Structure 1
């Protein structure tokens, strides 16, 4: 393991905004995020498979009246977002290191108001369909921790994942569906602007856009 990773893991161990195995509250935070960490009753939004946490950081900065939690299993990645939030003094942001399929271990029913899926792994192989984060079994996980009518948002460059998700949603109880296959040519881009009015982009999206890929986006309410 590289020295950089070891240093990042060590930083995560002492960062107050990182929740991971072996740290205080990791096993007791479920249902207690407002009381234990945020010390407010503001709505909680999750960025699942957050990677470096670009959205968690940007949205927390833009919306101080909301709380944001980036979730990922890769500690060396979420370290980046954690450190940025600490440097910016963003107390309405946190990071949780866990597998997405274990999400119900960390959030109680009705604790989450919104979920963002930003360029998740599209899992293009047919055998990986159950691992797609918009598969019906994951949607049920989200419902189990979410408030009725919670927002689900997906941003992806994958035609396959986007169209797969649209098909899945036809058989789900949803409302207020909006979507575009070219986000940068859509008024829905307004959902993705940072505090300076610039589009929030992940490192990977910058590469996708440079290659000419169109960015797809959809949002709906889950019931």
Structure 2
């Protein structure tokens, strides 16, 4: 029988690779590693890559095993899910992995200017009714700018046509340099072996969506520090398999 939530949370309290600062305590508990993750925890000068909304941490752990000279941090508020990746990383002795349990809305409290090189967004909730909560919205892009190096890379891997379309409009509206884009990842030809291996890491949710016959979409773009960011004013069809009885079109997104 698997562990229950309380047992997992008890494990997380003693795991050396887990740091827990949910919004409810972040205002009252200082975070001394901001700007010092390499010095205090990783004890190296290697690049730092974040997976935001990491769930069970499949990408965080998978990438860490592929790239031992890069530091990876999975971020999510769901501790019971995060336990899976944190436990695996400890069991396999991965020293380039950490997990931060917090609300992504306050992610900039934990990283200093230019401390992070890349961000992965893997199967994020598309937040079809709330643009401000989308992890690819300009609201979050402005926060990422506070700690992502100038021109750092944002990766989006998703089943959601809504989120993929929205992010494409956002990238185009703000002239963010597009590095790669495909609407059907596993039927895209010409990818090199390493890229195939990286993008072939599958999360729990990805496996679920593939079983339902959905195409997996992927794009990456650079996020320069210069320039004001604008929300795209467009209407985008909702994902019917997610929207249930709601309207099939979104309201226009406006600047936040």
Alpha-carbon offset, residue 11 of structure 1: 0.5
The residue matched to 1:28 in structure 2 has which SS? coil
The answer to which structure has the higher helix fraction is 1
Give a deviation string over 1:168-212, Cα, whole Å, max 9, x none. 111325224310000001245853525xxx921111111111111
The residue matched to 1:96 in structure 2 has which SS? strand
Partner of 1:160: 162
The residue matched to 2:120 in structure 1 has which SS? strand
Matches within 5 A, 1:196-211: 199-211=200-212
Aligned partners of 2:223, 2:212: CA distance in 1, in Å? Answer: 33
Aligned partners of 1:61, 1:109: CA distance in 2, in Å? Answer: 26
Matches within 5 A, 1:1-223: 4-21=4-21, 27-125=31-129, 128-186=130-188, 187-188=190-191, 190-191=194-195, 193=197, 199-223=200-224
Gapped runs of 5+ residues in structure 1?
A: none
Partner of 2:251: none
The residue matched to 1:170 in structure 2 has which SS? helix
Q: Is the 8 A contact 1:112 1:146 kept in 2?
A: yes
Count of matched residue positions in the alignment of Structure 1 and Structure 2: 216
TM normalised by structure 2 equals 0.80
Give a deviation string over 1:133-157, Cα, whole Å, max 9, x none. 0000101111111111111000000
TM normalised by structure 1 equals 0.91
The residue matched to 2:210 in structure 1 has which SS? helix
Gapped runs of 5+ residues in structure 2?
A: 225-256
The structure with the largest alpha-carbon Rg is 2
